[in-house]
Amino acid sequence: MTGMGLGVGVSKYDYLPEAHTDFAFAIFCQENGFLGALFVFLLFAALAIYSARVANKAKDTYGQILSMGIMILIVGQAIANLLMVGGMFPVVGVPLPFISYGGTSLIVTMASIGILVNIGRQGEQEIQKKILAGEQPPPPSEFSLDSQIPAPAKR
User: Do the Cβ atoms of 83 and 136 come closer than 8 Å?
Assistant: no
Return the pLDDT at 101. Answer: 81
Q: Are 71 and 113 in contact (CB under 8 A)?
A: no
pTM above 0.75, yes or no: yes
Integer angstrom CA distances of residue 13 from 9, 19, 62, 75:
9, 8, 46, 29
Predicted confidence pLDDT, tens digits, the chain (155 residues): 866 666 666 566 666 666 566 778 888 888 888 898 899 999 999 999 999 999 998 888 899 999 999 999 999 999 999 998 888 888 888 888 988 887 888 899 999 999 999 999 998 888 888 888 888 766 655 545 454 455 556 66
Q: Is 97 helix (H, G, I), strand (E, B) or coil?
A: coil
Pick from 101, 100, 82, 81: nearest CA to 92: 81
Report the C-alpha gap between 25 and 81 in whole angstroms. Answer: 8
Interacting residues of 83 by C-beta distance below 8 A, sequence separation 6+ = 89
* Residue ranges with strand state E in 11-149: none
